[in-house]
A and B are shown apart, each in its own frame.
Chain A
């Protein structure tokens, strides 16, 4: 199975600070058709996960543009340009290039 390693596991930030989360894959997520199926989710406390970014860098519906995704192959990054209080929770990367679909271990974003 593809292993997704997220760093850091915990991130402390102040409101307005910009932060980045890394997601490294044990295999390339580029498929034979040239697509990279890497997604980012946010799970707020007590809620279900919600999509932030799809296909590496595309913003999900209704997601603020302070969120951005980048990367290729095995290395991916989620950036939040100016953390807001509503951004607190656990962030997960997920890949669906290879079966079975797998998630990273999560990065908890908390207020400093």
Chain B
């Protein structure tokens, strides 16, 4: 069955970067975009953007264009999101999702603290 397994949860220092991973299984990875969504603690959801695993084409929410970088590794069916120049505002749970099929990763927490 379809599964999106996330990894990369971390406690990171301000100014550092973190790379989150989302390994897909149970479907043809290149057939569906991977989207990323941010959920700050106790708050609503924000759409970060998506990547087309087949072409590598990306589409970002303008708000996250200088914060997030989406990539894929087709050889391992894994999507990655790198978050740079981290601040406390980036502390949140991040989800990857195959939005079209409504499959979501379990979410990973990023905590930014010195």
| A interface with B by C-beta (< 8 Å) | 48-51, 60-61, 92, 94, 99-106
Contact between chains at A100 and B63 (CB < 8 Å): yes
Given A100-B61, A100-B62, answer yes or no on A49-B104 (Cβ-Cβ < 8 Å): yes
Q: A105 and B44: CB pair below 8 A? A: yes
Chain B residues within 8 Å of chain A by Cβ, number: 16
Classify the interface of chain A: helix, strand, loop or mixed.
Answer: loop
B14 lies within 8 A of chain A by Cβ? no
Pairwise interchain contact B104-A48, C-beta atoms closer than 8 A: yes
Distance of A100 Cα from B47 Cα, bound (Å): 7
Within 8 A of A (CB), among B91-106: 95, 97, 102, 104-106
**In-complex Cβ contact of A61 among B45, B46, B59, B102 (8 A):** B102
Considering only residues 31-70 of chain B, those with a C-beta below 8 Å from chain A are: 37, 44-47, 59, 61-63
